[in-house]
Every structure is written in C-alpha cells, then in structure tokens.
Amino acid sequence: MTVIDLAWWKLGVAALLVLALAAASLWQRLGIAHSLLLASVRTCVQLALIGLVLEALFASAHLYWIVLLALVMLLVAGREVVARQPRRLRGPWAFGIGTGAMFVSSFSVTALTLLVIIGPSPWYEPQYAIPLLGMMLGNTMTGIALSLDRLNDTVWRQRTVIENRLMLGQPWREAVEDIRREAMRSGMMPSINAMAAAGIVSLPGMMTGQILAGSPPTVAVKYQILVMLTFTVGTGFGTVLAVSWGSRRLFDERERLRLDRLEAARP
C-alpha cells in the first residue's frame, strides 16, 4: 500500500478553512477568533518542530535523549494543567500536584506497556516510547485538569456546607467525600465516553493514522485497543492521585478548610 505524502501547500488549503471559521466567529461575535488562530499557529509550529526532533531522536535512539524529551513533555503538560484551571491552588502546588500525578500514572503505565505488552528491543525504542507517552500524557492531562477544576470550584461554592460538616465533627475526608467522588468522575468521564463510542461513532486517531500509513486494519485495531485501555488506566489513576493530593492541600494539619490556598477564579 502506497503512503501518499502531503505537500505543504495542500496543508495551506486546510489552513484556509480555519481562516474561514475564524471569519465566521467574528461575524457571529463569538470572541474566539484570536484563540482559534493562535491555537492553529501553535499546532503547526509545535508539530513541525517535534517532527524534526523525532527524526533526530529516531536516528540516535539514546536513552538520555529520550528521557530528556519525556521530561520536557511532562513539564509542558503540567503547565497546561495549571492553565486550564480557572480557580487553582496558590503557589507551586497547582503545578506540582498535576505534574506529580501525571508522572506517577503516565510514566508507570507507559513503562509497563513497553516492557510487558509491546516488548520492543530496546524497551525504550523511541518509535514506540515517545508516541505512547505523548498520547498518555495528553489524555491524562485533560482528565487531571478537569478533576482539579471541578474539585476546587465545588469546594469554593460549597465552603459553607463543608465548614458546617467540620463543626459537626466530621473529618475532612468525610466532609468533602462527595465532592472528591464527583471530581474524579468528571476527570474519568471523557475517557470512558471515548471507549464507549470507539469504532461505532468514531475511528480513534491512532488507528486512523496507522491505516493511512499503510498498516493492516487488524493490526491498527489491536494497537488502538491497547492504547485506549492504557489511556483510561493512566487517566483514572492520575485523576485519583490528583484529587487526593489536591483535596488534602485544601485542609491544614488541624483539618480546617483553608480557602486562602485557592486563587480567585480567572475570567
């Protein structure tokens, strides 16, 4: 099967469609034209640069370069988690909790997948390690950002209820247990919905990419099943960790609710 390469001018045609959408948003006064254009430019620049980086990385395949790129990906994902929370923890905690949860969940699940399930030689083969980790971080990042946003916002809105529970003698875990559960559900729900609709409503991205690249559909299906299962596991554990650490930060050692540790909501 022949892989059809895309000339850059053909990608420009797709970019014209984005410009048309931006013009339509201006006409309707949606207020998203600037964000849409900026995101499109960032997509093109970032993907073009990472393409050059991956070509060099695939050629060398040294472990230290792979670790360095993985750490850069983790730090950028941690920054995006913070940016997606209108109301977040003050100081470095918002970055540290999200990044730490992604590190524990995404890196451990990716390493387990490479070592036990796929088994490339060497196990850190960049052709497998970097795409898997990148997709894992992307999905886990979304789940953690959603869960922390729900946790912080709900605690702020229900602060009176929580303080009343504490005054009645409930420990902090019981006082926010229902809020913690809802926050965890909100972080996991996109992954669960994606699995439920895969193959019927949509063809997931990795499977589509492999088929376009010439892989047999049966092989693409196997990899897509593996990816979606591991994504859900990584997102689930990352969400649980982030909500657990984040909720603990909202209370001090005397189990008092500390709303001063939350920043004001950004517009």
Instruction: Give the DSSP per-residue string, 133-149.
Output: HHHHHHHHHHHHHHHHH
Q: Taking the domains of the chain in order of start, what are their residue ranges? A: 1-60, 62-261
Report the C-alpha gap between 182 and 201 in whole angstroms.
Answer: 26
Report the C-alpha gap between 227 and 106 in whole angstroms.
Answer: 12
How crowded is the C-beta side of 7, counted as CA atoms within 13 Å?
3
Report the C-alpha gap between 81 and 250 in whole angstroms.
Answer: 18
Q: Quick one: which H or E segment has residue 171?
A: none
Looking at residue 10, its pLDDT comes to 82
12: Cα separation from own chain's centroid: 28
- Residue 248 in tokens: 């603990």
**Residue 72: count of CB within 10 angstroms of its CB:** 11
**Torsion angles phi and psi, residue 168, rounded to 5:** -80, 0
Identify any residues that bridge with 251 across adjacent strands, giving them in sequence order.
257
How crowded is the C-beta side of 247, counted as CA atoms within 13 Å?
28
Looking at residue 267, its pLDDT comes to 62
Looking at residue 74, its pLDDT comes to 94
Conformational region of residue 89, where left means phi above 0, alpha means psi within -120 to 50, and beta covers everything else:
beta
Looking at residue 213, its pLDDT comes to 67
DSSP 245: H
Q: Which pTM value belongs to this model?
A: 0.82
Contact indicator for 25, 33 with CB cutoff of 8 Å: yes
Contact indicator for 187, 146 with CB cutoff of 8 Å: yes
Report the C-alpha gap between 162 and 206 in whole angstroms.
Answer: 43
- Residue 176 in tokens: 């926010």
Contact indicator for 159, 172 with CB cutoff of 8 Å: no
Query: What b-and-e string marks burial along 204-226, b requiring 16 or more CB atoms within 10 Å of the CB?
Result: bebbeebbeeebeeeebbebbee
Looking at residue 135, its pLDDT comes to 87
10-residue averages of pLDDT along the chain (267 residues): 71 90 91 90 88 82 87 92 88 92 94 91 87 90 94 94 93 94 93 80 65 74 85 92 95 91 77
- Residue 138 in tokens: 């992307």
Report the C-alpha gap between 31 and 33 in whole angstroms.
Answer: 6
Find, among 245, 253, 230, 232, the residue nearest to 187 by Cα: 232
Looking at residue 162, its pLDDT comes to 95
**Torsion angles phi and psi, residue 19, rounded to 5:** -60, -40
